[in-house]
Amino acid sequence: MRRSGMQFRWFHHRRCPYVLYSQSTSDFRRMIYNRQLRVSPMTGGRIRAISSYFFKENPACVHRLVPWLNRELNVLLDGHASRVQFLIRLICRLVQRYEITSSMFRKRIFSYLQIYTDHFIHEFYNFTRSPYDMQDYDRVAHYDGIGGSETDLRFAADRASPDVTILGPVHSQLPDLTELGIIIYFVHLLVNCSGLGSSDVMNT
């Protein structure tokens, strides 16, 4: 199967168990915030220096944050271009004065992001300290549900294809991600999500 270089995730929904999302899309990022899915902190390996002192002494390193900020803020501010650009500039200044997890940093951006402030800071902090650019970070990021309810979600990587990550309910069986398995699985989805019988699908 030809890979596009994009990462996809299987998003669990009560009616249709798995829906394919590209992680780089605004819809995926919007789903992350709306469903309160938080990226799992990376363990082991390298992490970047992200102190306010470091950014003040190395202002060029702030430029790495701009593509990620642009994507996230376009989602959170509904694509309001002037607000997005203003907040990008503000945050790029703030990281040179305050620690990302500090109360002052939160206070300065709260009026713009409101209820999404803490979630945004969590995502921003974890991306900033990672050793990756945005594209590579998207490939390796894993997300957890909030709380301990049955609706919590799980991400698991497909070892055969590092560009694919699967999202499913905690006790569900993950789909077969071979090429034939995907075809069979999508037929199964069509049957279960449309109310068609298997004979109806084969005759369409």
Which tens digit of pLDDT belongs to each residue from 59-104? 999 999 999 999 999 999 998 999 999 999 999 999 999 999 999 9
pTM above 0.75?
no
Two tokens, residue 146: 């909030």
pLDDT along the chain (204 residues), means of 10: 42 40 71 93 88 97 95 93 96 98 98 97 97 92 61 31 34 40 50 48 45
Whose tokens are 């607000």? That residue is 83
Q: What SS3 class is residue 166?
A: strand
**Judging by DSSP bridges, how do beta strands 8-11 and 164-169 pair with one another?**
parallel
Q: What confidence score (pLDDT) does residue 25 get?
A: 76
Q: Is the CB of residue 137 less than 8 Å from the CB of residue 149?
A: no
Q: What confidence score (pLDDT) does residue 24 get?
A: 55
Residues 6+ away with beta carbon under 8 Å from 149: none
Q: Is the CB of residue 32 less than 8 Å from the CB of residue 145?
A: no
Per-residue CA distances from 170 to 19, 23, 148 (Å): 16, 20, 11
